[in-house]
A and B are shown apart, each in its own frame.
With several copies, the nearest count.
Chain A
Amino acid sequence: MSLQELYREVILDHYRNPRHRGHLPSPDVHAEGENPSCGDEFSLDLDVDGQTVAAIATQGQGCSISQASGSMMAEAVVGKSLDEIHELTSRFKRMMSIEEGESPVDEERPGSVLGDLEALQGVRRFPVRIKCADLPWTTLEDAIRRVEQGSEVLP
């Protein structure tokens, strides 16, 4: 696999035109993440309507992998239930952790659940960069946990 496959067009597109960028006017929850080792930053606002993520807005700066991963993630989770998001998160993490060469995580293609996110498969070959792709998801997990604990629904 080559760098050309790591830096696929869809990744560069999400990097340059991140979806759901910005802030929500009064989010239910806000979470921040950071990779101290490389300085990538990613944060997000969520509006949660019952058990569903009604809206998401993201902020951050960092490499194309972290920012594209965040943009794709935002697209993938909006409108999804918390349960669906847990399922998605674990699928994503599984995809990032399986050995290269193993079969892709999503057997049900076409109509893949991970969609664009599968473009990030190439990151697996670059172990130093996996944490870049993971950052938005770790931040999301943090946000969802807080929603579920009911601890931090902002006023």
Chain B
Amino acid sequence: MIDAATIRKDFPLLERRYGDTPLVYLDSAATTQKPNSVIDAISTYYRETNANVHRGAYRLADEATTAYESARTKVAGLINARSSSEVIFTRGTTAALNLLALRWADHLLSEGDRILLTLMEHHSNIVPWQLVAQRTGAELVYLDITPDFAIDLDRLDEVLDERVKIATVSGMSNVMGTIGPVDEITKAARAVGASVIVDGAQLVPHMPVDVQALDVDFLTFSAHKMLGPTGIGALWGRGELLDAMEPLEGGGEMITDVGLYESRWAPIPHKFEAGTPPIAQAVGFGAAVDYLVDLGMDDVRAHELDITAYALDRLAEVPDLTVYGPQDPARRGGAVSFELADIHAHDLATILDEEQGVAVRAGHHCAKPLMRHLEVPATARASFYVYTVPEDIDALVIGLMRAREIFGIA
């Protein structure tokens, strides 16, 4: 079991104060804080090992290459990839999804084909597909949300026919916390021969994920949402699919030969990693994976279940507060969106921040289609991670009561 109060000490930012008020960080779905081990791995890399990778005949460059490639092995291990060559380092989830849209979907789809999404997708898993649709003539089809904030699977069979070539679904909603029905959608998609992409930006950080067991085709995630640095994330894909995909970017490192008018590509993963890669970031990503593996992903999930249950209970004590998301912690992760009476989310965020040092996000959370569906222009969102303690939730609740006072709500 995770002892969040103890591991907090590994996270220097959590010691921040505004004057007398300690910071209460409840915005981990946007980006997580970093343990010292990650911050130090990056500094140590720059202080002791920094060199460009893959082309050095000297020892330092060899050390740098080993550091970079062993990060890949760690990331591959976390998601149980068959081979580390199936892990492509990208700038993040958004870059990974766009790579798939531009080089997988563009070649696969034509007029009349369909892409299946859900209404709970993040903009990063919507906009790339809108652009694919515009380029190829394919259509987007959305699965609905039920009144209890789940993906509506009732129409799945109806919607999934052989026109659907790609199903792309969030593993976990960054707004409602809802765990996506990846299993059901994958089975149904397989039956009609569609490929399955999972936007794992919120899933991979929060639960054990095994790509071989999931039986999906592609998985994308971002290091910065799982204790790692900004500027790096990963695309995992089945080797044979990645082998068949054309590179998006050309340049150094991704070739075996360059002529004046033609070039030959290196094998995966390098084919998709043109130019100097985010080396120090990969090292930091590897350290983040080490930290999570040490905690144990089962325990990470167990802690999230506990803290989310506690949060939902405490929020239920606040009058006039509406939670947009499942009430059952087993069906969700620790991103909790809510609205309080007629107080706009933005005002709520200011009051929580100023009164209690509580950092929550306010707005559309890069999920405008979902917000329109929920008929709410903006929500406030508190989101948790391995270092979140019940006291953080208590501060949130005090702040919410104070907001009621300030807005003169009896």
A128 near B350 (CB under 8 angstroms)?
A: yes
CB B361 to nearest CB in A, in angstroms, measures 10
Which of B56, B345, B350, B364 has the largest number of chain A CB atoms within 10 A?
B350
Q: A39-B363, A39-B378, A126-B350 are in contact. Are A64 and B344 (CB under 8 A)?
A: yes
A80, B59: Cα distance in complex, Å: 38
Whether A12 sits at the interface, judged by CB under 8 Å, is yes
B351 proximity list for chain A (CB < 8 A):
3, 7
Q: Does B111 contact A (CB under 8 A)?
A: no
Give the residues from 1 to 52 in chain A that come closer than 8 angstroms, CB to CB, to chain B.
Answer: 3-4, 6-7, 9, 12, 16, 34, 36-41
Q: B350 and A38: CB pair below 8 A? A: no
Q: How far, in whole Å, are A7 and B409 apart by their CA atoms in the complex? A: 13
B347 at the interface (CB under 8 A from A): yes
Q: When the two chains form their complex, are residues B350 and A37 in contact, meaning their CB atoms are under 8 A apart?
A: no
B65 to chain A, nearest CB (A): 9
Check A38/B347 contact, CB under 8 A, given A3-B355, A16-B342: no
Instruction: Assess A63 versus B54: contact at CB under 8 Å? Given A7-B406, A36-B255.
Output: no
Q: Which of A58-72 contact B (CB under 8 A)?
A: 61-65, 67
Number of A-B contacts (CB under 8 A): 64
Out of B61, B256, B345, B350, name the residue touching A36 (CB < 8 Å).
B256
Q: How far is the CA of A129 from the CA of B348 in the complex (A)?
A: 12
- Per-residue 0/1 for B345-378: is the Cβ within 8 Å of any A Cβ (1 yes, 0 no)? 1110011001100000011100000000000011
A7 to B407, CA, bound (A): 7
B406 & A38 in contact (Cβ 8 Å cutoff): no
Total interface residues in chain A, CB < 8 Å: 25
Tell whether A38 pairs with B362 under 8 Å between CB atoms, given A128-B62, A129-B350.
yes
Nearest Cβ in chain B — how far from A140, in angstroms?
19
In the complex, what distance in Å separates the CA atom of A40 from the CA atom of B350? 15
Q: What is the distance, in angstroms, from B87's C-beta to the closest C-beta of chain A?
A: 19
Interchain nearest-CB distance for A92 vs B (Å): 20
Interface SS of chain B: mixed
Q: How far is the CA of A126 from the CA of B57 in the complex (A)?
A: 10
Is A132 at the interface (CB under 8 A from chain B)?
Answer: yes
Interface centre among A9, A37, A129 (most CB of B within 10 A): A37
A129 to B354 Cα, complex, angstroms? 13
The answer to whether B364 touches A7, judged by C-beta atoms less than 8 angstroms apart, is no
A4 neighbours in B (Cβ, 8 Å): 406
Q: Which chain B residues in 52-69 approach chain A with CB under 8 Å?
A: 54-59, 61-62
The answer to whether B408 and A12 have CB atoms under 8 Å apart is: yes
Q: Within the assembled complex, what's the spacing in Å between the Cα atoms of A127 and B69?
A: 15
**B350–A3 touching, CB < 8 Å:** yes
Query: Is B131 positioned at the interface, with any CB of A under 8 Å from its CB?
Result: no
Q: A64 to B57, Cβ gap below 8 A?
A: no
Residues of chain B with a CB closer than 8 A to A129's CB: 57, 346, 350
Given contacts A34-B256, A36-B255, contact A62 B350 (CB under 8 A): no
A41 to B59, CA, bound (A): 22
Q: Which A-chain residue is minimally distant from B55 (CB atoms)?
A: A37
Instruction: Across the interface, name the chain B residue whose C-beta is closest to A6.
Output: B350
A40 to B266, CA, bound (A): 15
1/0 contact trace for B258-286 toward A, CB 8 Å?
A: 00000000100000000000000000000
Q: A3-B355, A36-B266, A39-B377 are in contact. Are A63 and B347 (CB under 8 A)?
A: yes
Contact A40 B346 (CB under 8 A): yes
A68 to chain B, nearest CB (A): 10
Contacts of A9 on B, CB cut-off 8 Å? Answer: 408
Q: Interface residues, chain B, CB within 8 Å of chain A?
A: 54-59, 61-62, 255-257, 266, 342-347, 350-351, 354-355, 362-364, 377-378, 406-408
